Amino acid sequence: MLYDVTIDGKNYRLDLNRVEERWTCRLDGREVDVDAILVRPDVLSIRIGNIAYEAKLERVANELHVWVGNSRFAVEVRDPRSLRGRTRAGDDHGPRKIAAPMPGKVVRILVSPGEEVAAGAGIAVVEAMKMQNEIKSPKKGVVQEVLVGEGAAVNAGDVLAIVE
């Protein structure tokens, strides 16, 4: 399974697969020797190479944090294959960050701060591999902030705008 992961603002591409009783893991294309066991809800025992860690998940409001020892990391995990238009219960409440689903170049900004948008309305157009992709609002709301400009290079997961 392929995931886009952001840890303390830094983006990674994670490819996790279960092969028989073991996991295979590639992080940004690099093979990582890892094994993990769910000890109890929201607590994982993880072995990376020859070093063991305990990772605790903490959900605060709409944010996810992972504690490893005394260090806390803000984490976002996205499945790039998921349907962009799908909504879940509770998704219409609070601000939503609209992120670039892939690296590319912003060729057009379709909204401005303070503008009302409908769910599914275009926010920006990102060109990747000579294809233009319209990035849409996941909810009805008001554009709170536009964080990129036309011509900007973006990575997968970079926040383009915020709709509240």
- 56 Cβ partners below 8 Å, 6+ apart? 42, 43, 44, 66, 67
Judged against a pLDDT cut of 80, whether residue 68 lies above it is answered with yes
pLDDT computed for residue 114 by the predictor:
94
pLDDT computed for residue 89 by the predictor:
43
Instruction: Give, in degrees to the nearest 5, the angle at Cα 64 between 50 and 124.
Output: 115
- 76 Cβ partners below 8 Å, 6+ apart? 5, 6, 64, 157
Q: Domain boundary residue among 78, 113, 130?
A: 78
* Residue 56 sits in the same domain as residue 115: no
| pLDDT tens by residue, 99-146 | 888 888 999 999 999 999 998 889 999 888 778 888 888 889 999 999
pTM for the model stands at 0.46
- CA-derived radius of gyration, the chain: 18
Average pLDDT over residues 44-72: 87
Range of the domain at 46: 2-78
